[in-house]
Structures are given as structure tokens and as C-alpha cells.
Amino acid sequence: MDMLDDTPRSKSNRKLDAYWMPFTANRQFKASPRMLVGAKGLHYTSDDGREILDGTAGLWCCNAGHGHTEIADAVHRQLLEMDYAPSFQMGHPLAFEFAERLKDLAPDGFEHVFFTGSGSESVDTALKIALAWHRARGEGSRTRLIGRERGYHGVGFGGISVGGLVNNRRHFGTLLTGVDHLPHTHAPEHNAFSRGQPEWGAHLADDLERLVGLHGAETIAAVIVEPVAGSTGVLVPPKGYLQRLREICDKHGILLIFDEVITGFGRLGTPFASQFFGVMPDIFTTAKGLTNGAVPMGAVFTTDRIHDAFMNGPEGTIELFHGYTYSGHPIACAAGLATLDIYERDGLLTRAASIAPVWEEALHGLKDAPHVVDIRNLGLIGGIELASRPGAPGARAYDVFTACFQEGCMIRVTGDVIAMSPPLSIGEAEIAQLIGTLRKVLERTE
């Protein structure tokens, strides 16, 4: 029976009803599904046989594009050799090899990698490491975590506590206690249509001094921010903002965590955003592009300074009581190693630096398109903000999203912001197609 068959049956047996979809208007989707059945290169294939240009690298994760046989072959070989190995008090060679390869890509000084199963797990891991690090050094009073308004750090209780997206928080009680938030950096009255980093706003980092004055530095463990905030609508940090955060954290003995789940693995034209901005955190999180989206996996990077503080006491003592059943999963490691080979072979971790000017010109060419009130870009990330319909925030952008899909291009919307992050292998012709389709759709959207 066809998946979309409408033969009468009890609702509980409908094939679309069984799957409770994440971050989706389920009833709306199931009334008019958008099904993807194949992927290769820069394109998906829809269930009606149409080719869909991927303007979002899946969900910010398929940085090398789709359908790489090298990844599939590596996963197949590993499945036949060893499908799973426990990571508690046991190991397997691929996890150590993958960690070493990742260390070589990371900024100088990041010598250690803790594997997780997702970006959300990476964030919760980083927060726990930060709290435990202060305690290991005799500063157990540092239990407060500082996030940022409009920040997104996954969906674990730690991540939504330090996150600042109200819809992600409002339904789930009081969350973690002892959490506070910096203001976001979105200031269109000063920075509308900025190309790259905005000029105005570095002083917003100084609000951390206010929080220190309110709570006391001796209570604050860590500050976590996305170098470029993605899921909230592409908020690019003002010039000097991240540097100022680093200075204040250093001044008060606070750890700085970068959430690089989106910006990691070439999105800005360097392997990691810290290298692009020249600002080094104490800990940073990754996922998504780690395996090119092929197998769920995440990784947290730390320095010797962080790691070695735990390596005390009897050698038989577990240093950090934390981990996951699927930490360092052999199948994910195989996919990750093959992904790194592709990134290296095709120069993808730095390619965004060369294609970014073309991307920027194309994006800002939409400045005169209907409903556009702001455009933001950095590296191979773009955000186009639309004016909201009166009384219906998000409705206009959603209509643009669905119309673009029908026209053969996949974009992403968050509120009334169109967010795009195509595979790093995208060329000028595909950029022109993506932006041209978007203009056509905007011109006919009410």
C-alpha cells in the first residue's frame, strides 16, 4: 500500500500518524507532506521525482553534499567487522584514530576529544565538564552558567536552560537553576544589511560584567555562546564582540564555551569558527558536519588545562562520571574518518572563504525584493529577514519555504527569517539558482 494512501482506516493506523515529527507542525505537514526519497551531490530527490537543490546542507550538517560512496563503504566495512563496541572501560582503535585526526584539525592547544551522540549531548557534556573542572580545582562555588538570549544549544535540559529561544523553554518547567543570560546581538536599527560582521555592538559583551556584579564571579562557571547564532535566524557577532567576551572571562576566571555545532567543519572558511575569529574558547562543541550528517555523532574539544585537572587521584579512579552508550560508536567513527578524508581531498574546510564573496553578492542582491527587511551573512551562511504579516508572525516565511520547495529549492525558516547554509561544494550556478528562485517566490508572495 502506498505510504500516502488515503483509504479509510482508524487514525492510529495511518502510516503518517505513527511518527511524531520533531520541530514540525505535525497536522499541517501530514495534510500536505514534503517527502524526500533520495540525495546525491547538491540535490535531494522528492517522492514525485523532482530534483531539489539543497540550500541548507540538510540541517546544517551535510557540508560535503550527499551520497558519498566513501562514507557508505566505510560504514559497510565497519558494520561487517564490528558493529558496536562499549566505550566504558573498553575501547576500539577507530575512536582513538578519529580523535587524533580531529585534534590535528583543531586550533593549537586543543588536545582532547570527548565523543557524544549529537549536538545536544555535546552541549550538556561541555557544561558538565565546566562545572566539574571548577570543583576539581577547589572552586566548587562556581555553579552558575551564562547563556545568551536567542541562543540555541540543543534540546537537553542543560542546552535549553542556557539557550534563549522562548518556545524551546516555556513548556518544560523551571529548567536548571542558577542560569542567567546575556543580551542577544540582533540590532537591525544599527546593523541592517551588514555585509559580514556588523560594526555596532561589541559593547553588548560588557553585560557580562553586569552579571558578574550581580552574582559574583566566584559563582560563575562558564559562558556559552554560538560564534554565529544559526537557529535563531543567523545572528553574526559584531566586530570585537567575541574578543571582549574572552577578555572578561579571563579577567574573572570564567570558562568560555563556543557552541560550534553549526560553525564547525568549514562553514566560515576555516575548520572552526575560533580560527576564523581569532578567539580561542576553553571548550568547544561540535556535531553535524562531524560525519557529514551520515551517522549521528558529536564531539567536545578541550585543552590540556581542562583535561589534566581531572587526571588526579588513584589511577583506578574514574575521573569523570559522564558518558553515553554510543560515545565513540565504531560506525560513527568510520563515517567521520571517511568524512575527514573527503574534506581534505576536496579542500572543503577552507572552500567557503573563496566562494563567500559570490554568496554575499547574491544574497544582498535581494535587498530590493518584496518583504525583505534585513540580510545577514558570514562565510557560507545567510539569513534573510522578512517583514511579518500583521497578526501572523512566521506565516509569510513559511509560505516562502513551501513555495521554494515546489520550485525545486530547499531553504529553512525560523520565524520570519529565511536561513540558508548550502553544502560547501556549491558553485556559482547553484547559488544563482537558489537566490533566483527565492526572488521569484518573494515577488509573488503576499
Output the pLDDT for position 13. Answer: 45
Lateral strand order in the sheet of 43-46: 36-40, 43-46, 51-54, 409-410
| Band of pLDDT at residue 148, cut at 50, 70 and 90 | very high
C-alpha 373/C-alpha 359 separation (Å) is 18
| Band of pLDDT at residue 417, cut at 50, 70 and 90 | very high
Secondary structure of residue 429 in the 3-state scheme: helix
Which residues are paired to 41 by β-bridges? 66
Output the pLDDT for position 7. Answer: 46
Output the pLDDT for position 14. Answer: 78
C-alpha 246/C-alpha 55 separation (Å) is 33
Share of the chain above pLDDT 90, in %: 96
Burial of 439 (0-12, 13-18, 19+ CB in 10 A): middle
Which helix (H) or strand (E) covers residue 378, if one does?
Answer: strand 372-378
Output the pLDDT for position 127. Answer: 98
C-alpha 419/C-alpha 13 separation (Å) is 35
Q: What is the pLDDT of residues 241-291, one digit of tens each?
A: 999 999 999 999 999 999 999 999 999 999 999 999 999 999 999 999 999
Q: Say which residue, 5 or 115, is predicted with more confidence.
A: 115
| Band of pLDDT at residue 1, cut at 50, 70 and 90 | very low
| Band of pLDDT at residue 226, cut at 50, 70 and 90 | very high
Q: What is the pLDDT of residues 286-320, one digit of tens each?
A: 999 999 999 999 999 999 999 999 999 899 999 99
Output the pLDDT for position 195. Answer: 98
| Band of pLDDT at residue 2, cut at 50, 70 and 90 | very low
Q: Say which residue, 10 or 201, is predicted with more confidence.
A: 201
Q: Is the pLDDT of residue 12 over 50?
A: no
Q: What are the phi and psi torsion angles at 142 (to 5°)?
A: -85, 90
Instruction: Average the pLDDT over each of 4-8, 73-77, 204-208, 334-338 and give the range with the smallest value.
Output: 4-8
C-alpha 32/C-alpha 15 separation (Å) is 14
Which helix (H) or strand (E) covers residue 348, if one does?
Answer: helix 348-364
Average pLDDT over residues 131-140: 97
Q: Say which residue, 418 or 5, is predicted with more confidence.
A: 418
Output the pLDDT for position 219. Answer: 98
CA nearest 395: which of 416, 373, 418, 372? Answer: 416
Q: What is the pLDDT of residues 362-383, one digit of tens each?
A: 999 999 999 999 999 999 999 9
Model pTM score? 0.95
Residue linked to cell 572552500: 351
Q: Is the pLDDT of residue 11 over 60?
A: no
Which helix (H) or strand (E) covers residue 81, if one does?
Answer: helix 69-81
Q: What average pLDDT does the chain have? A: 96
Cell of 204: 553588548
Q: Is the pLDDT of residue 324 over 60?
A: yes
Residue linked to cell 575512536: 95
CA nearest 169: which of 185, 184, 182, 153? Answer: 153
